[in-house]
């Protein structure tokens, strides 16, 4: 078997083991320091739960990655670490540290936004930026002075989209696993092994995290949230992978017209959700950054789903987009496929609105009948 494929499998296993070792230590640390995510009217959970699970992501991923590099370097193969990779790792470390500080001490949204912009700027400064949209709305090649701010905006947007959709158990992690699995496959096909190995490492620790997040007992101090250190790190890495895969650079990867839309298809659900939520907040004359319970997972739960059922429904929607776009792109342009994606998302939300309205009106009718019986 290909040495790189063996390393990908090994990295996944090592990272998962690291996650299962690190997370209990983090849980004990949070308990000793009383570092909990306290429930309030906006949150779903009802128990005080540790929120530093994301701290395990970077060490597990990088330790397993380093082990793979060592194994590969003992053979006649090699993994290339270029300038983009160095800038990416340094900027992701910046986001990771910011997330930890925010989870422990708290940071203002403005400070976090500034740090995200600074971190995102390092990528186009290293030469990695959106330089082609492959005919999306008639746009093809993009000059650097437009691609630079567009890249920064895209990365910050995706970073916050993952952070904001982290509202119920397993959602941000499982959506990220779907996206990461897609990128893993696409980078393997392109023989880009360094990022394939790194992605496999992140998937491994996410599997370990999801075990504690979904099935851990809060009463036994075995349940944990990823916190901003996790969601912001995930979002930044996914934003980077979107730019990396969709950039037209034939010296690194062969490209075709589907690359741009396929890369972003993997993250359509969190991106569409944050756009819809922001638009509705502005429509109702509120700050787009104000907290509420209007995200798609809140809507599924208002429609009658449990947390786990809402999770499954959203994951099915994400998988549907990936499969549908794969087939639609064989016969349609990027633009048409995107418009259909938007219409599907609007349709899903309108259906949820209808179900919620019927449910609440039914509850209202029951209350009216009950009051009449009492009187």
- Could you list the residues known to form a binding site for Mg(2+), using ranges: 163, 228
CA distances from 34 to 104, 144, 213, 221, 233 (A): 10, 48, 18, 11, 23
Indicate the annotated binding residues. 163, 228
Burial class (CB in 10 A: 0-12, 13-18, 19+), 258: middle
The count of C-alpha atoms lying within 13 angstroms of the C-alpha of 223, restricted to the half-sphere facing its C-beta, is: 17
Q: Which two tokens stand for residue 368?
A: 């009216």
Please report which helix (H) or strand (E) contains residue 140, including its range.
strand 139-141
Residue 316, C-beta contacts closer than 8 angstroms, at least 6 positions apart: none
Nearest to 155 by CA among 109, 118, 120, 115: 120
Helices and strands counted in the chain (H then E): 13, 4
Query: What distance in Å separates the CA atoms of residue 154 and residue 23, rounded to the nearest whole number?
Result: 31
């Amino acid at each position: 078997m290909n040495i790189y494929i063996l390393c990908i499998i090994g990295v996944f296993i090592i990272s998962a083991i690291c996650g299962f070792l690190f997370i209990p230590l983090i849980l004990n640390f949070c308990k000793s320091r009383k570092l909990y995510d306290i429930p309030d009217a906006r949150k779903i959970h009802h128990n005080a739960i540790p929120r530093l699970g994301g701290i395990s992501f970077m060490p597990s991923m990088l330790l397993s990655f380093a082990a793979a590099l060592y194994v590969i370097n003992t053979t006649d193969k090699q993994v290339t670490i270029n300038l983009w990779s160095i800038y990416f790792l340094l900027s992701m470390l910046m986001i990771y540290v910011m997330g930890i500080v925010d989870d422990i001490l708290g940071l203002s949204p403005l400070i976090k936004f500034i740090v995200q912009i600074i971190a995102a700027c390092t990528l186009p400064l290293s030469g990695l930026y959106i330089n082609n949209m492959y005919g999306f709305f008639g746009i093809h090649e993009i000059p650097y002075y437009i691609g630079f701010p567009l890249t920064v905006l895209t990365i910050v947007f995706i970073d916050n989209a993952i952070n904001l959709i982290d509202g119920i158990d397993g959602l941000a992690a499982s959506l990220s696993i779907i996206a990461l699995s897609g990128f893993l496959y696409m980078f393997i096909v392109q023989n880009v092994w360094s990022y394939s190995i790194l992605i496999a490492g992140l998937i491994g620790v996410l599997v370990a995290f999801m075990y504690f997040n979904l099935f851990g007992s809060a009463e036994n101090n075995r349940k944990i949230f990823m916190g901003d250190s996790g969601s912001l790190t995930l979002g930044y890495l996914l934003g980077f992978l979107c730019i990396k895969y969709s950039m037209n650079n034939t010296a690194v990867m062969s490209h075709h017209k589907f690359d741009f839309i396929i890369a972003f298809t993997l993250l359509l659900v969190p991106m569409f959700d944050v756009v819809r939520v922001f638009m509705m907040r502005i429509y109702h004359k509120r700050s787009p950054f104000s907290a509420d319970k209007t995200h798609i997972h809140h809507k599924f739960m208002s429609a009658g789903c449990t947390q786990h059922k809402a999770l499954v429904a959203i994951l099915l929607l994400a998988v549907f987009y990936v499969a549908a776009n794969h087939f639609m792109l064989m016969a349609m342009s990027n633009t048409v496929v995107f418009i259909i994606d938007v219409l599907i998302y609007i349709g899903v939300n309108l259906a949820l609105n209808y179900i919620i309205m019927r449910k609440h009106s039914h509850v209202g009718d029951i209350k009216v009948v009950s009051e009449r019986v009492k009187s």
